[in-house]
Chains A and B, each alone.
Chain A
């Protein structure tokens, strides 16, 4: 009888876990697509994320943020699988990477707020996908998924200050990419012609 009772309890717990986990499928898939930029790889990544989540479900604390927990698994798998190691090994946090953009920063590189609404959705997605992965993932977590800095820091395993600096750089870069696109496609005209 004890064994049966334990089995039932296990089944109940598993069912609850699976029910909750599957609710995050679309969100995880969209995140995987943005990370891998490839539908087949995104599917593999999501499937492997769920397999790993199932295996380690006992480490998930019921009542905490399951979406964040699943994202953390997926993002670690992504770096291990597709990038050859966790990103701390290939940090982009040095200032060198964006020194160039800092020197390019000028008022004319700032699109009007309403210009953004005239840019097609796929161009915005393309711009996000052009960001370096370390910056792309923080944009996904904070801007797309609405995680707090603390939650994003927990998912990424970095201090909050690192989330803030990556986010700041990512947004500036995104601004520039979208502005460049808006100029190339004639949505805005360059103000730097001296005319």
Chain B
């Protein structure tokens, strides 16, 4: 696998959307290729940071009460 093939599969690697065989190929390439490994670490971190930052906050209590009246 070369870098172009690896970068083409990197999103799917990060998102666990590759077949086992593809996953192994990418993994092996990353072990031998520091620039691709850097990009991989960046992608993983970005996904983590986006999740943590966007996953904060709760619905206002008045909305919850209103929905309870509608739903129940």
Contact = CB atoms under 8 A, between A and B. Distances in A.
A139 interface: yes
B32 interface: no
A34 B44 CA distance: 21
Contacts, number: 104
Interface in A25-70: 25-26, 28-30, 33-34, 39, 43, 46-47, 50-51, 54
Contacts of B24: none
Q: Interface SS of chain A: helix, strand, loop or mixed? A: helix
Contacts of B71: 18, 21-22, 50, 54
Nearest to B50: A143
**How many interface residues does chain B have, given as a range?**
20 to 34
A125 B58 CA distance: 15
Interface of B: 11-12, 15, 17, 38-39, 41-47, 49-60, 63-64, 66-68, 70-72
Given A113-B38, A116-B45, A128-B54, 17 more contacts: A21-B71, A22-B71, A26-B57, A29-B60, A34-B54, A46-B59, A51-B70, A110-B38, A113-B45, A117-B49, A144-B50, A144-B54, A144-B55, A148-B15, A149-B15, A167-B11, A171-B43
